[in-house]
Amino acid sequence: MMPATEQARRWRLILGRYADTVLPAGQVLGRRDCDIDLALGFLADRAYAERGHRHGAGLGGSALTAVTWLEQARRLFPKSTFERLQTTAILDYGLNELLADPAVADSIDPSPELAAALLALRGKLDPGLETGLRIIIAKVVQQIVERVRPKFTAALSGRRDRHRRSFQPRAQNLDWRATIRANLRNWDPERRQLVIAQARFIQRAKRHLPWEVILCVDQSASMAECVLNSAVCASILAALPSVGVSLVLFDTSVADLTDQAADPLEVLMTAQLGGGTNIGGALAYCETLVRRPATTALVLVSDFEEGGSVAALVASAKRLREAGVTLLGMAPCDQAGRPSFDRHVGGRLAEAGFEIAAFTPDAMADWLAEVLS
C-alpha cells in the first residue's frame, strides 16, 4: 500500500494550489515538487482564465511566462513526459505564443506527435505563427529523414545476393554468418570476445528496370502523422536514382504534389488536413499515372474509412491489379501500436489484390525493398 505521505503529495500535485487549505504545499511537497506544482499551475491558471475565473486573494498567478515555463518544464520532467506536456500546452492551453517568436520556437523539443498535431490545426492557427510552425515541422522532418534514409538507401540499392562475395566493405552488405564462421579460431577466452580479423561482405544484385512508386496518401483529419511520414518517405524515394515517385494527397478531392515530392516541408505546408474521404476517386486518378504496370507499386496510405462508393473503390483496385500493378495498403497504428483502420473496407481491398499492413516509415522501407527486389 502507498504510504499516506506519498498519497498526500500526489493529490496535492493533482489538485494544485487551490488545495492549500487542506494540503499545504509546505507540508506535503518538497522543493522540486513545488517547482512542478508551479509549472502545472501555470497551465491550470490559463484554463481557469479562459472560463472567466479570477484568482482569489492570496492565490495570484505565477510569475512564469510561456518561455520560462518551457525552460522550467524541460528541466523538471522526463523527456517523454515533457514532450506530451509541451504538446498539451500548445494545443489545449493556448500557449501559441511559443510559436510567435522564431527563437523560442527553435528551442521547442520537436516530436512527430507535436508536429502532426500542429499540422492538423494549421488552418485554425494565426497566420503570424507560420514561421514558428515551419521551424518545428522542419526539425521533425530532419529527424525522421536522418533515421529512415539509411534504411531506404540500403534496402532499395539492390537485393543482397548471398552467393556472390563482395570485397567492398560496406556496413549494409556485411554477412554476419560468414564473418563469424571465418573468425571462430580467433575467439579470446579471457575477454570472452570474438576478434574479427577478416570481415565478409555480400554483393548486391543490380536492378535493371527502374520502379515507379505512386504514394497515394489520405489527408483526412485523423491521418496527420501518416501524412508527415509519407512526405518524408516520398522525398527519400525521389532522391534514389532507380525509383520514380508520384505523390498524391486526397480527401474528397485529389492534389497531385509530385512536383514537390523532393521537399517534404513544402508538401506538409501545402497539405490541407481535414474533411471527408473519397479513396475510390483517388485510386481512379492514380490509374491515370500508371505507365508501366509491371514495374509500378501503388502505396495507399489510409485508415480506409471510405466516405464514397466502396464498390467504385474495389472496382478501381481490381483494374489496377489486373493490369499488373503491385498494390500495398498501409494503415496507421493507434497509441498502443495496434493497427487502426476500417476492417471491412480493408478486407475488401485485400480481396481485390492489396496487401495490407500497419504503417511506419521503417516498415515502408523494408516492405518496398521486398516488393521491388
Residue 77's pLDDT is: 86
Mean pLDDT calculated for residue range 302-325: 95
Specify whether 198 is located in the same domain as 309. no
| Residue 104 counted as domain residue | no
For 276-307, how does the pLDDT look when each residue is reduced to its tens digit (9 = 90+)?
899 999 999 999 999 999 999 999 999 999 99
Residue 61's pLDDT is: 44
- Give the residue from 205, 226, 261 where a domain finishes: 205
Contact 18, 45 (CB under 8 A): no
Q: How far apart are the first and last CA of the chain?
A: 57
| Residue 125 counted as domain residue | no
Residue 319's pLDDT is: 97
Q: What is the dihedral of CA 175, 181, 183, 185, to 10 degrees?
A: 180
Specify whether 231 is located in the same domain as 186. no
3-state secondary structure the chain: CCCHHHHHHHHHHHHCHHHCCCCCHHHHCCHHHHHHHHHHHHHHHHHHHHCCCCCCCCCCCCCCCHHHHHHHHHHHCCHHHHHHHHHHHHHCCCCCHHHHCHHHHHHCCCCHHHHHHHHHHHHHCCHHHHHHHHHHHHHHHHHHHHHHHHHHHHHHCCEEEEEEEECCCCHHHECHHHHHHHCHHHEECCCCEECCCCCCEEEEECCCCCEEEEEEEECCHHHHHHHHHHHHHHHHHHCCCCEEEEEEEECCCEEECHHHCCCHHHHHHHCCCCCCCCHHHHHHHHHCCCCCHHHEEEEEECCCCCCCCHHHHHHHHHHHHHHCCEEEEEECECCCCCECCCHHHHHHHHHCCCEEEECCHHHHHHHHHHHHC
**Closest-CA residue to 227 (of 283, 263, 271, 282):** 271
- How many whole angstroms separate alpha carbon 133 and alpha carbon 115? 8
Specify whether 230 is located in the same domain as 348. yes
Residue 182's pLDDT is: 76
| Residue 179 counted as domain residue | yes
Specify whether 289 is located in the same domain as 313. yes
Specify whether 340 is located in the same domain as 287. yes
Residue 185's pLDDT is: 78
- Give the residue, 14 or 363, on which the prediction is more confident: 14
Residue 64's pLDDT is: 64
- Give the residue, 17 or 174, on which the prediction is more confident: 17
The residue segments making up the domain with residue 318 are: 211-372
Residue 4's pLDDT is: 82
Specify whether 186 is located in the same domain as 307. no
Specify whether 340 is located in the same domain as 222. yes
Answer whether residue 222 shows pLDDT above 90.
no
- How many whole angstroms separate alpha carbon 114 and alpha carbon 123? 15
Which CATH number belongs to the domain containing residue 226 in this structure? 3.40.50.410
Identify the band that residue 161 occupies on the pLDDT scale cut at 50, 70 and 90. very low
For 47-85, how does the pLDDT look when each residue is reduced to its tens digit (9 = 90+)?
666 666 555 444 444 456 776 787 788 788 887 788 778
Residue 62's pLDDT is: 47
| Residue 290 counted as domain residue | yes
For 194-206, how does the pLDDT look when each residue is reduced to its tens digit (9 = 90+)?
777 777 766 555 4
Specify whether 225 is located in the same domain as 301. yes
Identify the band that residue 172 occupies on the pLDDT scale cut at 50, 70 and 90. low
Q: How much of the chain exceeds pLDDT 90, in percent?
A: 29
| Residue 316 counted as domain residue | yes
Mean pLDDT calculated for residue range 5-24: 83
Highest-scoring range by mean pLDDT, 9-18, 150-159, 195-204, 271-280: 271-280
Greatest extent of the chain over all pairs of C-alpha atoms, in Å: 80
Specify whether 286 is located in the same domain as 335. yes
| Residue 368 counted as domain residue | yes
> What angle in degrees, to the nearest 10, is found between the helix axes of 112-121 and 224-238?
110
| Residue 111 counted as domain residue | no
Residue 348's pLDDT is: 95
Number of structural domains, the chain?
3
Answer whether residue 135 shows pLDDT above 50.
yes
- Give the residue, 59 or 225, on which the prediction is more confident: 225
Specify whether 55 is located in the same domain as 197. no
| Residue 303 counted as domain residue | yes
Q: Which of 24-33, 132-141, 146-155 has the lowest mean pLDDT?
A: 146-155
